Chain A
Amino acid sequence: MRARLLWLLPLLALLAALAWAGFAPIHVGSREQVFDIPLGTYARRRAGDLVEILPERIRLTLGLNDVLLIRNHDEVPQTFGPTIMMPGQSFRLPFERAASYQFICTAHSSGQLSIDVEPEPDTPWARIHWRVREWWENRKK
């Protein structure tokens, strides 16, 4: 009887973890996903260096991290999507609709940036999926 209960313990722990991941509200430190364009980006690119400052695809989640903040620390203006950021300037772009957005971005060697804005994970399964993916991606960093 006791041996059977011991077998059940990992299963119960897994169920408890899944219950927590599915039902506990998700808290993130900030809704802003920050990207910095460092000093010298333009010069490095002119010298032939295919420097990638920003990922070509950025994923945001409504209600959690749904604000993109790009800061231009370079000494030349950088075009991001709808606007030019002067040296020292930042651009804070909030998203309120889940969709895939394509932007022109001179900080990329491809000149393009995709932003996927996903809906807020509001079901237990969506929360589990979100947490597992975040954990997996942070583990790789």
Chain B
Amino acid sequence: MIPRAFLYSLLLTGALAQAATPATQPQLKAGVLSPILPAPALDLAATDGKPLSLERFRGKVVLLAFGFSNCGEVCPVTLFTLASARKKLGDAASGVQVVYVTVDPERDNAAQMRKFLGSFDATFVGGVGTIAQIEAAEKSYGISVSRKVYPDGKYTIGHSSSIYMIDRAGGLRAVMPYGHSVDDFVHDLKILLRS
């Protein structure tokens, strides 16, 4: 005969052990930075006519990327993916803000970027500025930019194409390399919106 007190203590120990076991954190599909540090500040003009600072979007998950409106390969794919992810999120998409900063300050002004981004999603906000301002933003996020000039004087720009995921508290939480699917973004955004 097992004493009842012994059985109760066993049950209690089990319950305490269960409670003490940390719940498994869902893993992001993006690359995760640890510890989380504040996202580098942006000092740019936004395509909606206001200054572009990340503080404006505190409380939202910010997807920050760099590109340019004349980009024929990478940027349209990235923007289409982000727009599709927002659509898939439904009502929760109101908690997600896409910010797209130009790497081509000579050609991209606010109107040009607004038109380009608006063709994907009207809520996307672009970042524009002087060459010095854009270079400062690129440097703070480790963006590499290379210009290829054609014989006719026109040029295209090769640039880093990852998407920076900034959490609702303004921390640079994760970086999604180029090429991930819409579902991968939806997966990670759901986690970030919950946290």
Binding site for A on B (CB under 8 A): 27, 29, 31-35, 37, 140-142, 144, 160, 162, 164, 175-177
Contact = CB atoms under 8 A, between A and B. Distances in A.
Nearest to B37: A86
Nearest to B160: A82
15 contacts: A79-B142, A81-B31, A81-B162, A82-B162, A83-B142, A83-B162, A83-B164, A89-B35, A90-B33, A90-B34, A91-B175, A92-B34, A93-B31, A94-B29, A104-B160
A94 B31 contact: yes
Contacts of B176: 82
Interface of A: 77, 79, 81-86, 88-94, 96, 101, 104
Contacts of B32: 91-93
B31 A82 contact: yes
B31 A91 contact: yes
A92 B176 CA distance: 11
Contact of B31 (A77, A88, A92, A104): A92
Contacts of B164: 83
A140 B16 CA distance: 47
A94 B34 CA distance: 14
Contacts of B144: 104
With a 10 A CB-CB cut-off, give which of B141, B142, B160 has the most chain A CB atoms. B142
Contacts of B35: 88-89
B139 to A, nearest CB: 9
A82 B175 contact: yes
A85 B176 CA distance: 15
Nearest to A67: B27
Contact of A84 (B27, B142, B177): B142
Contacts of B162: 81-83
A79 B138 CA distance: 12
A96 B37 CA distance: 26
8 nearest CB pairs, A to B: A82-B162, A93-B31, A84-B142, A83-B175, A79-B142, A82-B175, A92-B32, A82-B177
A126 to B, nearest CB: 25
A79 B141 CA distance: 9
B163 to A, nearest CB: 9
B51 to A, nearest CB: 24
B37 A89 contact: yes
Nearest to B139: A84
A86 B32 CA distance: 13
A56 to B, nearest CB: 18
A108 to B, nearest CB: 14
A40 to B, nearest CB: 21
